[in-house]
Structure 1
Amino acid sequence: MLVSLPIIGYISDRWGRKPALVLSSTLLGVIGTLKAFSVSYEMYVLVEFLETVAGASAFPAAYILTIELLGQDKRVLTTAFLGIMLVLGGLAFALLARTFQYWRTFILVAYPPSVLILVYIYLLPESIRWLLSKGRKEEAVEIIMNAAKLNKVTLSEETMRQLQEEKVKPTDDKKVEEEEGLWTQVLHSPIIMKRLAICSWWWMTCTFVFYGLAINSVALAGDKYTNYMLVVSVEIIAVVTNALVLDRVGRKPTLLVAYCVCGVACVALTFVPESLPWLSTCLYLLGKVAITQAFSGIYMYTSELFPTHARHSLLGFCSMVGRIGSIIAPQMPLAALYVSWLPSVLFGGAALIAGALMLTTPETLNTRLPDSIREAEDIAQQGKSKTNHMEMDVK
């Protein structure tokens, strides 16, 4: 995934969200199916690596395309819906694994359907926001007109006039950004660099704790397939909670509480006596729900902090760095053999640090997605301006 995310992120920002999604998903199905024909362990591992390079970015590509197609008021609902789809995918994975326990058969059943994503070339529109950021206004207008016709919506005369105008000259900010490389722009912006570092820690924490707890689930007493399905199922609680609070309470308070609850629950596990296994299970599930809530929300929050022309690349960079956490997570059961309380303390400590860092970034509730570096930098100022206006209204 360290290799995959920057590659597909670049493809997405350079050639479009739809090509990145279709390419990633179909290659996942084709290359993944080859594992069933492995003749050695080395071949299996090589194909597994290539499969992940191709398919690891399918969800980020789908997520970014979806939020850019829908309006500001649909972001939370979109995140919740996609989160529920992930849960259903996890449950389907466990059911298929239980039904087809011979690994070659399982692969031949699970992977080939991914090739059907090829029909998305004809069914799925490109991101309007991405098209406009690339100056491809005619294609964007065509998608808007088709959407209006499909939804039986009559566009206002003002909207029609704006759509039919000649291509608007780019602002000075966008001219500069078009002439400079992506990472040159990022390196020249201390605000974006700081934001990138903080977001990377959030992602590392999410993958470290999320996958660490998931790995431990199959080691619990009872049937491993059932345990996995139960741990995946509780993620619905986190997704539904986010759907209810992110647009009401805000991104920062929601994620701050999620990280802190997860941190406290994980640290508290070290103090539970062995005579109270039910309490350990409750704290374990509470930590899993909280980190899932943070993981689900961090996708949306990160995408709202970065500009359109670099959104997938920077989101991919954060997710790429975050994979350090998922690389370390499988080592935690080994660490527990030497120091039993160490994994829980590391999980909890990482989450609490992530919660503290949440205090250093701007709130993005009710803000439009930024299209340029300057607009992304100004999100904090927008938040301060809203606060000042509210204080003046109160006075």
Structure 2
Amino acid sequence: MKQEKSASDRVDCDDLLSRLGGWFRARVLICAALAAIQVGLLHTTYIFLAADVPYRCVVPECEATNSTDFSAAWTSAALPEHGRAHRCSRRVPLDPTLPCEANSAFSEDVVNCDQWLYASANTIVTEFNLACQEWKRTLVGTVHNIGMLVSLPILGYVSDRWGRKTALILSCVLVGAIGSLKAFSVSYEMYVIVEFLETVAGASAFPAAFIMTIELLGQEKRVLTTAFLGIMLVIGGLSFALLAKTFQYWRTFILVVYPPSLLFLLYIYFLPESIRWLLSKGRKEDALEIITKATKMNGVTLPEETIKQLQEAKVPLEKKEEESGLWMQVFRSPIIMRRLAICSWWWITCTFVFYGLAINSVSLAGDKYTNYMLVVSVEVIAVVTNALVLDRIGRKRTLLIAYIVCGISCVAIAFVPPAMSWLATLLYLIGKIAITQAFSGVYMYTSELFPTHARHSLLGFCSMVGRLGSIVAPQMPLLAIYVEWLPSVLFGSTALVAGALMLTTPETLNTRLPDTIQEAEELANQHKKPENLEMKAC
């Protein structure tokens, strides 16, 4: 039978955290912002480092193997076509004894190439001679997403077991240390292995920063925190494109952007642990130490009763039941299990549609670095919109509208006639903004649906399962070769299903973060009758 806590055992975490503002809050925000910028800078480096480069067959009868003339006059006759699918074969000159000229005669028969000439040496395609091995190039992105799938539950467990601060520092530092090793890769295989290890180490940096921030800053700052970190991600993405354009050779780029991540070791001294997490683990002495430092830093004084409550607070029930295991507690709750399955589908939808639309944007005409910056910049619209509406119309309604708008826009693309390409582009941008809005909001909404002692583990599980969508997304261009309209319909359909599932979960607007499984199960009642809410204990 569960023990009830007396009034003296209760600590109102949100009220407590609201008093610890000023420099304490600013320090947490700055630390989280730098971590988010690092994520935006490093989490998709494969887009440029493993980018395709123009290449063509070397024709030994016409040129030396070390030739640098990429567009010689005779190439139009010697090479069947210049398209991506025809860079792996060549024609043989009818008279090999004559020098090759623009009007030279070549055989109609083609032979497979065994040597290639590359237009640039900026990516691993040239470095490891990946011409006509498209699967090896795209495998880098697939391995990256598999690494994320592996990382999220591991670092989620670390976060819930040893603290948000520990998980954040490990992710940020290890991604820099391991990622730097890619610059010294001597083979394609080594590069892919390091890519995987880098992602396993660093994929959880943003979830750790996000959870730590919302737990430290209190209820009234959740939406602004989400928007703030979303904008930091955009800044990181823009920085990535600018640095990639400045340092285009892949080894140089790595050695410029990865090593500074080692400075996150300084967070050991500058970043406080989550007070809410400490109290949920019964570590009231550690929590009191952070609170005391925060009050001195900000020049505030806490009421005597609050200090007494902190000193006399009992170890939460979940701490006593921890021996039975986190997942056993989750399995015993049908409500949490159903919520976990629904949240997982939301995450699959977000990663599938978000990355699927992003991959399609690569085909836009113009400079690839500029195009990437434009696509990233569009995300600001979604982030700002969330900041304006999440606290006004609620989490459920906001995300429901985002999924439905995305679904309708993507499905509608399949019915746009070729003559109205401008409409297809408009629908694409609307879909991209809507899914970005859903992706940004689902981070906060998912974290609000689960209890403190399991929040990062369950959020990590949802995000891990969601990576299935990002693994499948790169295959959509291949599917479009056979059925052109099918990818956009799949994007839209998954978004519409996600919107329908949004109707089955409780609203979390104006509710406190649940600290126990029982409180998480009762979220629906809390939102319906906020005036009956008792002061909630940490």
Answer whether TM exceeds 0.5 for this pair.
yes
8 Å contact from structure 2 (residues 318, 453) kept in 1:
no
Q: Distance in 2 between matches of 1:214 and 1:59?
A: 20
Q: Distance in 1 between matches of 2:364 and 2:256?
A: 28
Q: Could you report, residue by residue, the CA deviation over 1:140-166 in whole angstroms, capped at 9, with x for unpaired residues?
A: 111112212222222123223323x33
SS of the aligned residue for 2:272 comes to: coil
Q: Distance in 1 between matches of 2:152 and 2:238?
A: 25
Distance 1:289 1:383, change over 3 A: same
- Of 316, 323, 345 in structure 2, the residue corresponding to residue 201 of structure 1 is 345
Tell me the equivalent position of 1:393: none
1:169 aligns with 2:314: yes
- Of 446, 469, 474 in structure 2, the residue corresponding to residue 325 of structure 1 is 469
Runs of 4+ in 1 over 6 A off after TM superposition: none
Q: Distance in 1 between matches of 2:349 and 2:457?
A: 20
Distance 1:329 1:345, change over 3 A: same
- Of 261, 278, 293 in structure 2, the residue corresponding to residue 114 of structure 1 is 261
Q: Could you report, residue by residue, the CA deviation over 1:303-323 in whole angstroms, capped at 9, with x for unpaired residues?
A: 000011111000000000000
1:385 positional shift: 2.9
- Of 74, 80, 89 in structure 1, the residue corresponding to residue 221 of structure 2 is 74
Equivalenced residue count is: 386
SS of the aligned residue for 2:391 comes to: coil
Tell me the equivalent position of 2:196: 49
Q: Distance in 2 between matches of 1:371 and 1:15?
A: 17
* 5+ residue gaps, structure 1: 390-395
Task: Give 2:353's aligned amino acid.
Answer: V
1:11 aligns with 2:158: yes
Q: Distance in 1 between matches of 2:159 and 2:518?
A: 21
Tell me the equivalent position of 1:271: 415
The more displaced of 269-278 and 75-84 is: 269-278
SS of the aligned residue for 2:436 comes to: helix
Tell me the equivalent position of 1:303: 447
1:369 aligns with 2:516: no
Task: Give 1:236's aligned amino acid.
Answer: V
1:129 aligns with 2:276: yes
Tell me the equivalent position of 2:167: 20
Task: Give 1:47's aligned amino acid.
Answer: V
Q: Could you report, residue by residue, the CA deviation over 1:332-382 in whole angstroms, capped at 9, with x for unpaired residues?
A: 011011100011000000000000000000000111111111111111222
- Of 268, 282, 285 in structure 2, the residue corresponding to residue 138 of structure 1 is 285
- Of 359, 383, 388 in structure 2, the residue corresponding to residue 239 of structure 1 is 383
Q: Could you report, residue by residue, the CA deviation over 1:245-294 in whole angstroms, capped at 9, with x for unpaired residues?
A: 11111100000000001001111111112212221111111111100000
1:176 positional shift: 5.7
1:170 positional shift: 3.9
Task: Give 2:395's aligned amino acid.
Answer: R
TM-score by length of 2: 0.70
8 Å contact from structure 1 (residues 8, 57) kept in 2:
yes
SS of the aligned residue for 1:39 comes to: coil
The more displaced of 379-388 and 320-329 is: 379-388
1:387 positional shift: 9.5
Tell me the equivalent position of 2:354: 210
1:60 aligns with 2:207: yes
Tell me the equivalent position of 2:325: 181
* 5+ residue gaps, structure 2: 1-147, 534-538
Q: Distance in 1 between matches of 2:244 and 2:415?
A: 35
Q: Distance in 2 between matches of 1:69 and 1:169?
A: 20
RMSD: 1.4
Tell me the equivalent position of 1:30: 177
Name which structure has the greater RCO, CA cutoff 8 Å, separation 6+: 1
Q: Distance in 1 between matches of 2:164 and 2:304?
A: 30
1:386 positional shift: 4.1
Q: Distance in 2 between matches of 1:114 and 1:70?
A: 25
1:179 positional shift: 3.4
Q: Could you report, residue by residue, the CA deviation over 1:70-89 in whole angstroms, capped at 9, with x for unpaired residues?
A: 11000001000000000011
Q: Distance in 2 between matches of 1:262 and 1:176?
A: 45
1:206 positional shift: 0.2
> Where is the helix percentage greater, Structure 1 or Structure 2?
1
SS of the aligned residue for 1:255 comes to: helix
Tell me the equivalent position of 1:192: 336
Tell me the equivalent position of 2:119: none
1:133 positional shift: 0.8
1:113 positional shift: 1.1
- Of 76, 85, 90 in structure 1, the residue corresponding to residue 237 of structure 2 is 90
Task: Give 2:342's aligned amino acid.
Answer: I
Tell me the equivalent position of 2:248: 101
Q: Distance in 2 between matches of 1:387 and 1:227?
A: 50
SS of the aligned residue for 2:419 comes to: coil
Q: Distance in 2 between matches of 1:147 and 1:177?
A: 31
Q: Larger Cα Rg: Structure 1 or Structure 2?
A: 2
1:339 aligns with 2:483: yes
Q: Distance in 1 between matches of 2:531 and 2:344?
A: 28
Q: Distance in 2 between matches of 1:159 and 1:55?
A: 38
TM-score by length of 1: 0.95
Q: Distance in 1 between matches of 2:319 and 2:168?
A: 28
Q: Distance in 2 between matches of 1:372 and 1:350?
A: 32
Distance 1:175 1:152, change over 3 A: closer
- Of 349, 356, 366 in structure 2, the residue corresponding to residue 222 of structure 1 is 366
8 Å contact from structure 1 (residues 218, 225) kept in 2:
no
